[in-house]
Structure 1
Amino acid sequence: MVYYTVVSGDTLSRIAARFNTTVEVIMSANNLTSDRIASNQVLKVPTTVEHESSPPTSGGVTKTFTTHTVQSGDNAWNLSIKYGIPMLELLQVNNLSINSTLRIGQTLTIPVYHVPVRPVTSSRHGELLDWWTEARYVFPIGKDATVTDFQSGRTFRIRHTMGGNHADAEPLTSNDAEIMRQQWGGSFSWTPRAVIISVDGRRLAAAMHSFPHGDHVIRNNNYAGHFCIHFLNSTRHNDGLVQATMQNQIRVAAGVN
């Protein structure tokens, strides 16, 4: 079972597909009599993940808004990185599409998320943040962070460079890539490991593999591709499903049984 907080644009069918279940199962688990759901509603979602996730703690995420006046050279992607929000959300809030053209002088509405610090099991463990409503705003695309391998304590530096269902990231330097390779026994691997992501003074529970694949942004780090970092309830990009092995390692990093 996972506890999922509904975000704008969600439907039961979309949530069911994300967690490899059905609308009927979710409705039954939550005693729903219709398929209508509301933003910030918390749903229990039965899944194939081996361990249950914790219910949301008190003190929810809040959202305020600021504005941005479009200047020469601005585009939706760069502005989403500047303000630390997903590009598709920026477009949706402003009733724009991926094909929309920004005009100089145009005023855009920018959502700003305030994610409270969650209690941790111990000083060694990280905050257990939901990817969809918390972690992706604390660790957005474009943000650098330090990764601490939970078992060994070794650290390396990374940048979140892309990704929507989870964080796709890259080592900052060739030395960081080499430390990663050593952590996985001398060769890059798809095997998940529990890690702590240190960003802006916060320590987040996460899990990652080290295998380079797909596109990459950083070109001088001796690492041709990106790797995947998962947080609570994040999903794979290829099929939109929760990966149990990743979720188990996240819970190790959080100290949650």
Structure 2
Amino acid sequence: MSLDKVVAGPEAAVADIPSGASLAVGGFGLSGIPWTLIEALLAQGADDLLVVSNNCGVDGAGLGLLLEERRISRVIASYVGENKEFARQYLSGELTVELTPQGTLAERLRAGGAGVGAFFTPTGVGTLVSEGGLPWRYDTEGNVELASPAKETRVFQGREMVLEEAIVTDVALVRAAVADRAGNCVFHAAARNFNPPAAMAGRLTIVEAEQVVEVGALGPDEVHLPGVFVQRVVELTPEQAQHKDIEKRTTRGERPATAAQGAS
């Protein structure tokens, strides 16, 4: 593969993603999500998608856009979050949802990228996570149509643990602050979140980068994700790079003056 992995644009990057593909998508809430690649995939038209992500965006933004257009058939995530349409589709039997503990989900993705088939963890032992019965899909009457199976458990050093399978997806979509032309990536602060493990899990990993630099511009200790995990890099325009919404903006009114402040 050529060392230069930069492609013409987001449309070209996602053009060959087929219907029925599985996607690992980086981000947490709306922090660090691949805004531009998601919108390009929405325009591209692929449907019946299996999405693995911490959550499924929010109403009207991020993965929520694909959800609203009925392009997602199954989600593996940690929580329903702020997305009312996600909850509605799940509870009305329109969407299959495999809820997974957050740390377990991150490790399932990382393990997939590291070539580890499965691992044991104490998280979820003694609950429906290990014993089975978590509702994955409801019917239209609200009855459980598909439930999670029981998982193998074993004792290690006196502690019971549950076996969790690694996740490998057809494609991964992630966002980086900086990437070089070979795909080495740097993430900014909290936007690092699920992006590295999601990128590792994809057989084809596409990165949208706010800034693209030449190979050698990044020091080895700066790199958060090695380019070996990346096949395509999309350089965002300045306008695309500024697209960073948040779920909720909370402001506080002016504080009333204290007695001490009033006397000063």
Higher relative contact order (CA 8 A, sep 6+): 2
Name the TM tier (shorter chain). under 0.3
TM-score of the superposed pair, with normalisation by structure 2: 0.25
TM-score of the superposed pair, with normalisation by structure 1: 0.25
| Greater per-residue helix proportion | 2
